[in-house]
Structure 1
Amino acid sequence: MLAPNLNAAAATPEVEVIAHRRTLWRWHFYAALFVMPLLLVLAITGTIYCFQPQIEPLLYRDRMVVADSHGPQLSRDVLLAKAAASEPRGAVPTLAQIETDRARSAEFVFRLPSGESESVYVNPYDGAVLGTLSVEHRLMKQVRNLHRGLMLGKTGELVMELAGCWTLVMIGTGIALWWPGRQSKGGVWLPRLSLTGRAWWRDLHAVGGIWLALGALFFVLSGLPWSGSWGKEFKALATSASLGYPKGAWGEAHVRSTAPSASASNDEHAMHGMNMKMDDLPLHQTPWAVGATQVPDSAQASAQTQRVSLDDVVTLAAKQGVADDYGIALPTTPTGVYTVSYFPADPRAERTLHIDQYSGRVLSDIGYGSYGRVAQWISYGTSLHMGRYFGFANQLVSSAISLGLAALAVTGFVMWMKRRPARALGAPARPAKRPPMRVWRGSLTVLGMIFPLMGATMLAVWCIDRLAFGAKRAPA
C-alpha cells in the first residue's frame, strides 16, 4: 500500500507544474488574442512615424524644400505676412515653425474659419507661397492618430492604452512559459530550425519573443505616459507632486521666471486667470514634462501698444540658447503670450519659454533641470521610443524592434490556427486543480491597481472565463 502513496506523492509536483504552466498559457492566450491585432497596428505605424523626418520632406518636397540661393532671407514677419495674405478671411496665425536649414521653406500654421488648421509654406528668399497642407489630414498626423487611438477619438485611445497594459501580461507570461523546463541550448536562445510544423513556429515565436521582450517592455513603459486616459492622469499627478514639472508658475523650485505685469491687479489676474495649458497650444511637439503646466498671460496693454515682432522673439530665443528646429505658438488674444517650445533629440536641451507679447520679457523659462526625476526619465524614454536620441541608428533599432513584434504577432496567429479546433476558440483548457500561484495573482492585482482600466478588464476576462468555459478543464 506504500507504493501507490509514494507514486501519488511523487506525481503531485509534476501535476502542479503542468497546472501552473497551463494557467500561464491561458492568460498568455487571452492577452495575445486582444493585443496581437493592435500590436500589428502599433508596429507598422510606429515604424513609419519613426522615419517622419526623412519621409515628409520627400513626400511634400514641392512645399518643404527650396533651392538655397545663398542670398539673404526675408524676415520672419514679412514671411508671415505673405502667408497670411494667401489665407482666407478670418484665418488666424497660431504657429511659426523655426528652422535654420537654408534648404527648407518657412512654415506657418493658421486656424481656419472652419475650425481646422493648415500649414502654409513660404519660400524664405522671395516670399512666394509654395502651398499648404492640412494639419489634421496630412499623412504623418493620420499615422500618429492610428498609433495613439486608431483614429477613433477617445474610444480608440482607451483601446490602445489597454493594448499596452495587456502587453505587460503577455510579456510576463511569455517569459514564464519560455523559462521552465528548457535545459538544452536548442530552442532557448536560438530556434531549432530542423523542427517542422507547429513546433517550428513555436520555437521561432518563443526565441524571438525572449530577444524582443526587453524592447517591448521599454516601448510599453515609455508609451503609456502619453496615453489619453492613464497618461493624462499620471501627468497631472506628476505635475502636482513635483515629480514632473515643479508645481507653480513663478519663482517656485528651479523655474526661472518673473511675474508678467507691473501692477498688483495685473499680477493677480495673470497668476489666477490662467486656464490654458501647454497641451492646448497648437504646437507640433511639446515636451511631456510641461504638457500639464499652465500658460501665463501677457500684461494688459493699451490699444496703441505694439506687439513684439516675430523676428525679435526668434532673436530672444537664440540668446536663450534655442536656435533651431522649434515652434513658436503665437498669441491669439490680447493677453496671450509667445510660447517657444524646443523638443530636441537630447532631452537635456528641452526648453519652454513664455514671452510677453508686448514687452518681450521672459515670463517663464522651463528647462530639463526644472523637471522632476520622473519627468526626466520619461523625457529620455520618449526620445528613445521615437527613434531620436541616437539619430539614424536609433531609428533602425526602434523599427527593428517594432517589426520584430509584428512578426511575433504573425507567428502567434499561425500557431493558433494550427492548433485551433474547427469552429472553436481554441483556448487552452483550464487545469483540473487550480494552482496557488500567489506571486502571479499578487502581481496581477498590483498591475490592476496601477492601471485601473486594465484591472477592470482583467476582472471581466476572469468572470467570462469562469462562466463560459468553467466546465472545460484539462484532465489532472
Structure 2
Amino acid sequence: MSLTELSGTPTPEPSPAAGPPAQPTRRASPLGALLLRLHFYAGILVAPFLVVAALTGLAYTVAPQLDGALYGDQLTVGAHGDRPLPLADQIVAARAAHPAGSIATVVPGDDDRTTRVAFSLPELGEKVHTVYVDPYTGEVRGQLTTWFGSTPATTWLDDLHRNLHLGVVGRHYSELAASWLWVLALGGLVLWWRRRSASRSTARHLFVPNLSTARGVRRTRGWHATTGVWLVVGLLFLSVTGLTWSRYAGANFGAGLDALDARSPEISTSLTAGPTENGGGHQHGDAPADGVVDPAAFDRVLTAARTADLSGPVEMTPPQEPGAAWIVTQIDNTWPVAKDRVAVDPAGATITARSDFADWPLLAKLSGLGTQAHMGVLFGPVNQILLAALALGLLCVVVWGYRMWWQRRPTRADRRALAGTAPARGGVRGLPLWTALIGVPVAVAVGWAIPLLGLSLLAFLIVDVLVGAASRRRRPAATPVSPAPAGR
C-alpha cells in the first residue's frame, strides 16, 4: 500500500537565500502509476482478510505448546526402563475402554509417547475417536475426538485459520487472502525498488528506513516498505503453500499435478496376482466382514515394517475389507522427514509393496514439505518462531499502510477528509501496446488458475471504471481565467 506521489507539477523556483534548489519531482511512468494504483486498492480492500489470516495463523503457531498444556496426560508418559507391552495387549485395553467402532489406525507409542488407537464411527465423519494407552502399563490415559491426528484444540485453531468456523463459505476468506498476498508482496517490492533507484539511496538505506530525515508519511512509508522487503520471501511462501490446498486454486493445482503425474505415488494393497489395488476374494488378510481385527496381527505387521527399515513413529492402517494388505506409514514430519510406506501381508508378515519418499516426484516432495513448513512442524520450534515473526510483520505492514492512507488525508478546513485519495488514474492509457499484448493474456491465465484473484481483480476494474465515469460527470466545466494585468 505504498502511496508514492504521482503528481508531476513542477515546484516553484527557490529564492537565492533559500539554499540549494530542491530536486524536481519525478513523474511516475504509466506502468508505475498502474502498479501503484493496483497496490493501493488491493491493499485497502484485501488487507482486512490478511489481518484475520495473520491473527489466526499467529494463534496456530502455538498449537503444539497448547496441546502439551491441555492434553499432556493423554499424549505423553513418564520415562520407563521397561520394554513396551505387545501392541495386542494395548489394543485390547483400548477396545475395553471404547467398545464401539472399528479400528481405523494405530500409532504405536515409544519413549515418552502414548499409543494412539483411533476408532472410526459413522457419526464422526472425517474425525475419529482416539484412545490413548500407556505403552508400558496398558493404562488408558484418556480419550479424545481427533481429526487426522490433531487434538480438539489444534483442530479448532486450524478451522479458525482455514474457514473461521464457517465451513465451505468461510474458506473463501483465506483463499482470497492467499490469492492477493503474492501480488501485494511482489508489487510492493517493485515499487520499493523504483523509489530507491530514483532517490539514489545508500546501500544501508536499501533495507533500513532512513529515519534521520524522514518525517510523517515518509517515515511511515519507510517502515512499511523496508519491512515488506524483509518479509517478501516468507510472504510469497505462505501465499503459494496456502493456495495449494485452497478450494478453487487448490483444485487447479491438483489438476496440474495429475496432468504432470507428479502426485505422491499410491501403494497397492492387493494380495492377489491381479493389478487391482484393493484386492479381494480368497487371499489372506485380517479384516473379516464384521470389521473386527485380530489384535495379534498388529504386532506381526509392526515387526515386518521395522524389519523393512521403517523407523521412528509410524501409523498402521488395517484393511477395511478382506483380501487386502495393511499399510504402515512413517509419520515423522520434522526435518529430515520420514514418509516411507509399506504394504504388509499379516499372514506371512511379508512386504507386498513399498513407496519411499526419496522416489516421489519433485513437485510431490515440495508440496508435502511446503505444507509441513506452513503448519509450523517441519523445523520444530524454529519453524513456529519464523511463522510467528511473519504474522507479526505482516500485521505491522498492514497497519503502516493504513496509517499512510490516513496521514495523506486533506487537512485544510475546506477539504477535510478521513483518509487520503487514491493515486491518480491514467496509467493504462499511457502503456505501450506491447505491455497490453503480454499483460492481458498473462492476467487471464493467472485469473483462471487463481479464480478468486481473477474475479476480485475484475470487480476492482469495474468499480474503478464506474467511479471514474461518475467523477467525470460531477466535475464542473473549466472556467476561463483572464490573465493578470500587466505589471502585476
CA distance in 2, matches of 1:297, 1:47: 45
The residue aligned with 1:104 is 113
Q: State whether residues 119 and 132 of structure 1, in contact with CA within 8 Å, keep that contact through their aligned partners in structure 2.
A: yes
Q: 1:430 to 1:260 in 2, by over 3 A?
A: farther
User: For 2:176 and 2:189, how far apart are their aligned partners in 1?
Assistant: 20
Write out per-residue CA displacement over residues 74-112 of structure 1, whole angstroms, 9 at most, x where no aligned residue.
Answer: 22222122112112x5322212123422x2222122223
- The superposition leaves residues 91-146 of structure 1 with CA deviations (integer Å, 9 ceiling, x where unpaired) of 22212123422x22221222235325222111222222111222157111111222
Q: Give 1:207 deviation, angstroms.
A: 0.6
Q: Which of the residues 374, 382, 389 maps onto 2:363?
A: 374
Note the 1:270-309 alignment, pairs <5 A: 270-271=276-277, 296-297=278-279, 300-301=282-283, 307=294, 309=297
- 1:431 partnered with 2:445: no
Report the alpha carbon displacement of residue 212 of structure 1 after superposing the two structures with TM: 0.7
Q: Do 2:285 and 2:322's aligned partners in 1 also have CA atoms closer than 8 Å?
A: no
Give how far 1:217 is off: 0.9
* 1:214 aligns to 2:233 (yes or no): yes
Contact 1:90 1:113 in 2 (8 A): no
The CA deviation at 1:348 is 6.1
Partner of 1:92: 102
On the 8 A contact 1:298/1:358 being kept in 2, the answer is: no
- For structure 2, the 5+ residue unaligned runs are 1-9, 11-24, 411-415, 476-488
Moved more, 385-394 or 72-81: 385-394
Deviation for aligned residue 1:209:
0.4
Counterpart Cα distance in 1 of 2:144 and 2:270:
38
Counterparts of 1:133 and 1:94, CA distance in 2 = 14
Q: Structure 2 matches for 1:137-216, cutoff 5 A? A: 138-182=152-196, 183-185=200-202, 188-194=206-212, 195-216=214-235
CA contact (8 A) 1:49 1:143 kept: yes
Give matches, 1:21-420, under 5 Å: 21-87=32-98, 89-101=99-111, 103-112=112-121, 114-115=123-124, 116-136=127-147, 138-182=152-196, 183-185=200-202, 188-194=206-212, 195-245=214-264, 259-262=270-273, 267=274, 270-271=276-277, 296-297=278-279, 300-301=282-283, 307=294, 309-334=297-322, 337-344=325-332, 345-346=334-335, 349-356=338-345, 360-419=349-408
Query: Shift of residue 411 of structure 1?
Result: 2.1
Contact 1:40 1:409 (8 Å CA) reproduced:
yes
Q: Which amino acid aligns with 1:170?
A: L
What amino acid does structure 2 have at the position aligned with 1:200?
Answer: R
Counterpart code for 2:328 = V
Cα shift at 1:457: 2.5
Contact 2:300 2:346 (C-alpha < 8 Å) held by counterparts: no
Corresponding residue for residue 286 of structure 1: none
When the two chains are superposed, the root-mean-square deviation of aligned CA atoms in Å is 3.4
Decide whether aligned partners of structure 1 residues 303 and 210 sit closer, same or farther in structure 2, where only a CA change above 3 A counts: closer
- How far 1:166 moved relative to its partner? 1.0
Structure 2 counterpart of 1:319, one-letter code: T
Give the whole-Å Cα distance in 2 for the aligned partners of 1:357 and 1:154.
40
How far did residue 460 of structure 1 move? 2.2
Q: Which amino acid aligns with 1:109?
A: A
Q: 1:427 to 1:249 in 2, by over 3 A?
A: farther
Corresponding pairs, count: 424
Asked if 2 retains the 8 angstrom alpha-carbon contact of 1:34 and 1:163, the reply is no
Does structure 2 retain, via aligned residues, the 8 Å contact 1:346–1:383? Answer: no
User: In the TM superposition, what whole-angstrom CA distance separates every residue of 1:284-328 from its partner, at most 9, and x where no partner exists?
Assistant: xxxxxxxxxxxx346645899785611222212212222222322
Higher Cα radius of gyration: 2
**1:364-385, CA deviations, whole angstroms, 9 ceiling, x for partnerless residues?**
3212233222223323433443
Distance 1:243 1:218 in 2: 20
Q: Hey, what does 1:278 align to over in structure 2?
A: none
Residues 163-193 of structure 1 show CA distances to partners (whole Å, capped at 9, x for unaligned) of 2121121112211221213212375311133
Q: Determine helix, strand or coil for the equivalent of 2:422.
A: coil
Structure 1: where are the runs of 5+ without partners? 1-6, 8-13, 251-257, 272-295
Distance 1:455 1:303, change over 3 A: closer
CA separation of 1:77/1:440 partners in 2, compared to 1, >3 Å: closer, same or farther? Answer: same
